[in-house]
Amino acid sequence: MSDKKDFTDKSKNSNDTFCCIYCTERNDCSVLSVKKCLGEKCSFYETSEEKLHSNDAWSKRMNALDSVKQTEIAKKYYGGKKPWKE
């Protein structure tokens, strides 16, 4: 995602409708081409807590790989950087 989100606990937007971390200030989605946030019905729905848990799990999986494989992945997908080490 191009726009960074603050992962604070935000379960409702200004319109008092349920939304996830991908819901924008205008109540549309930054991931899908929909006019309105679908909330919990959406398959991309993710709370800030779920996103942090997902990122932690990804980091652990990446760190469990051998250093050669990590370097291959870093070169191919992350311009040589290893964001899971940060």
Beta-bridge mates of residue 29: 23
What does residue 48 show for φ and ψ, rounded to 5 degrees? -65, -35
Sign of torsion, CA 5 59 62 57? negative
Per-residue model confidence as pLDDT tens digits over 41-68? 888 888 888 889 999 999 999 999 999 9
Listed residue (62, 68, 55) closest to 85, CA to CA: 62
| Percent composition of the chain: helix, strand, coil (DSSP 3-state, to 5) | 40, 5, 55
Reply yes or no on whether the pLDDT at 74 is more than 80.
yes
Helix (H, G, I), strand (E, B) or coil at 29: strand
Per-residue model confidence as pLDDT tens digits over 18-41? 557 888 888 878 888 887 887 788
- Token pair, residue 50, equals 């779920």
Give the pLDDT score at 19: 59
Higher confidence at residue 22 or residue 8?
Answer: 22
Taking CA atoms, 62 is separated from 7, 68, 75, in Å, by 22, 12, 14
Give the pLDDT score at 39: 78
Q: Which residue has the tokens 């939304």?
A: 19
